Amino acid sequence: MDRRKFCRTALAASVAASYPLLSACSRKEPPVAVTANTSLRGISLDGAEIELERAAIKELGESMTGPVMLSGHPDYDGARSIWNGMHDKRPAMIARCMSNGDVANAVSFARERNLLVAVRGGGHSWPGKSICDDGLMIDLSQLTNVTIDTDKNCAHVGGGALLGHLDQASLPHGLVTTAGVVSHTGVGGFTLGGGFGRLNRKYGLAIDNLLSAEIVSADGQVRTASADENPDLFWALRGGGGNFGVVTKFEFQLHPFDRNVLSGSIVWPIEQAKDVLEFYAEWSAGLSDELYAGPTIATTPDGVRVIMIDVVYNGDPAAGEKELEPMRKIGTPMADGVMLQDYTVMQTNLDAAFGHGVRSYAKNGMVKEWSQGLVDSIIDADDPRIFVANHVAGAAVKRVGESDTAFPHRNAEIMLVVVSGWADAAQDDEYIAASRAVYSAIEPHVGGYYDNIDFDGSGSVGNYGPAYERLSAIKGQYDPGNLFRLNSNIDPA
């Protein structure tokens, strides 16, 4: 076999097996752990600089089926890039995991060296906690497999899968579960934080549909958490975020579903926002479980400031039309796009606005009860640079006991999210300040925050309320050294 053909054959065999052969096919080997020729600078859990020995780096690389990439590898920059362009960090190593064993090896490597760890599922962490400088990034992006069990109406979902993967796999079977509002969001972070979605009023949050999870804890052990196995850990995972380990697989309950649903948006000019919000505040309290309707204030691509009500009616369209009728009579809508259409239209309609690479900042707060003061504050603080979005709760979300899961905000009717997005790094300070100003105006009327979104939320003790003490005890059992700290962190008891 000639040399050129040999190189092509070797590369085609498998990515992992090809790395030792690349020196015969190229003048320069890609920087991976198995070819490390020097030690690396790392950062410890307490922020001190540490040395990662060459031999240990190579040993980790040899233990993995996926590559452990170092700076300079052709896939390194792509792997470290996450959704929010605000965060440009450079890990010492990126462990691209292909199995539970890979994750366990990476976790053990970090624990033994007290090395800072970030876990990347879908890479959609708004505050950028799925990436770190000079630490180890555990990359689950290849674990995207979704399998549907139609006999048991459940889905088995890899820890790196996106919400779109879940919808695309379940909907052809006439099945669905609660998934968020941007399809390229990762299933992992979304679920562990609670999991709001357009169907949660009928089916509950994502955590209310979680049947089990496979997790690699800080000791490198793979455990199953469910109502029957490790029930304390299962309780903590449902709302406690990534504090307890790396979840590599989720099992969700699915529900029969007709994907052709009454859905879309009703849009009014911003001048009618007060009338719309005052009516919504009273009307929304009596809505059925089937109707998801939430207000959003935004600026259209052509510069028009509007208020809209996003609608998904999970039931008989005729009944939905009747329930929606009073809202349609408020003011003079500019547009009414509510119609019978495929569910994925709404599930993907924000994908472009929240596209990869946008620089974005967000703050959020839970609304227990709409008040005139809240409506007035939203109107008075309106800023055309800011997007005031929502996640509607209530109904089935509210009927789960406050201590049945670790999620602490069962009494919220809606979560309001103050969001800004821009492209130029020079505008960072301007847009962050504008977002904080709008949030400060509504802050007296909200309480608590959603861990998955908030940049500045550091008061996890108060945010988790009475659940915190139990969460801290479970954290102490499964992660006593606080290896998994890049999250809304819970101190181990």
Task: Sketch out the chain's domains with CATH numbers.
Answer: 1-25 (no CATH), 31-139 (3.30.43.10), 146-256 (3.30.465.10), 260-445 (3.40.462.20)
- pLDDT value of position 144: 98
Q: Per the confidence metrics, is the pTM higher than 0.85?
A: yes
Question: Cα separation of 222 and 229, whole Å?
Answer: 12
- pLDDT value of position 76: 97
pLDDT tens digit sequence for 64-106: 999 999 999 999 999 999 999 999 999 999 999 999 999 999 9
pLDDT tens digit sequence for 390-415: 999 999 999 999 999 999 999 999 99
Pick the range with the lowest mean pLDDT from 11-20, 22-31, 155-164, 369-378: 11-20
Confidence of residue 8 (pLDDT cuts 50, 70, 90): very low
pLDDT of 245 strictly over 70: yes
Strand partners, 246: 216
- pLDDT value of position 454: 80
Pair type for strands 68-69 and 255-256: unpaired
pLDDT of 384 strictly over 60: yes
Tally of helices (H runs) and strands (E runs) in the chain: 17, 21
- pLDDT value of position 35: 87
8 Å CB contact between 212 and 146: no
For tokens 């181990």, the residue is 492
Rounded to the nearest 5 percent, the helix, strand and coil shares of the chain are: 35, 25, 40
8 Å CB contact between 373 and 434: no
- pLDDT value of position 100: 98
DSSP code of 403?
A: T
Confidence of residue 196 (pLDDT cuts 50, 70, 90): very high
pLDDT of 3 strictly over 60: no
- pLDDT value of position 7: 34
The percent of residues above 70 in pLDDT, for the chain, comes to 94
- pLDDT value of position 451: 86
pLDDT of 29 strictly over 80: no
- pLDDT value of position 460: 82
Can you tell me the mean pLDDT for 276-288? Answer: 97
Question: Cα separation of 238 and 223, whole Å?
Answer: 15
- pLDDT value of position 134: 98
pLDDT of 457 strictly over 70: no
pLDDT of 197 strictly over 60: yes
Question: Cα separation of 261 and 318, whole Å?
Answer: 11
| Closest to 407 (Cα-Cα) out of 460, 482, 454, 485 | 460
Question: Cα separation of 109 and 117, whole Å?
Answer: 10
DSSP string, 84-152: -TT-----SEEEE--SHHHHHHHHHHHHHHTB-EEEESSS--TT-TT--SSSEEEE-TT---EEEETTT
pLDDT of 14 strictly over 70: no
- pLDDT value of position 31: 85
Pair type for strands 93-96 and 136-139: parallel
8 Å CB contact between 363 and 454: yes
Distance of CA 426 to the CA centre of its chain: 27
Can you tell me the mean pLDDT for 151-180? Answer: 98
DSSP string, 92-105: SEEEE--SHHHHHH
8 Å CB contact between 61 and 106: no
Better pLDDT: 24 or 392: 392
Q: Which residues contact 480 (CB under 8 A, 6 or more apart)?
A: 218, 492
DSSP code of 289?
A: T
Q: Which strand (E) or helix (H) includes residue 272?
A: none
Tokens of 314: 């999970």
Backbone angles phi, psi at 98, to 5 degrees: -115, -5
Strand partners, 15: none
Confidence of residue 15 (pLDDT cuts 50, 70, 90): very low
8 Å CB contact between 4 and 46: no
pLDDT of 201 strictly over 60: yes
Span between the terminal Cα atoms of the chain, in Å: 63
pLDDT of 22 strictly over 80: no
8 Å CB contact between 424 and 375: no
Strand partners, 157: 146, 250
The mean predicted confidence, pLDDT, of the chain is 93
Handedness of CA 467, 473, 474, 476 (dihedral sign): positive
Confidence of residue 449 (pLDDT cuts 50, 70, 90): very high
- pLDDT value of position 456: 74
8 Å CB contact between 71 and 41: no
Confidence of residue 170 (pLDDT cuts 50, 70, 90): very high
pLDDT tens digit sequence for 431-444: 999 999 999 999 99
- pLDDT value of position 452: 86
> Which strands make up the sheet holding 246-253, listed edge to edge?
146-149, 154-158, 246-253, 210-216, 222-226
The percent of residues above 90 in pLDDT, for the chain, comes to 90
Which of left, alpha, beta for 157 (phi over 0: left; psi -120 to 50: alpha)? beta
Question: Cα separation of 96 and 139, whole Å?
Answer: 5
Can you tell me the mean pLDDT for 459-470? Answer: 89
- pLDDT value of position 30: 80
- pLDDT value of position 28: 57
Question: Cα separation of 168 and 225, whole Å?
Answer: 26
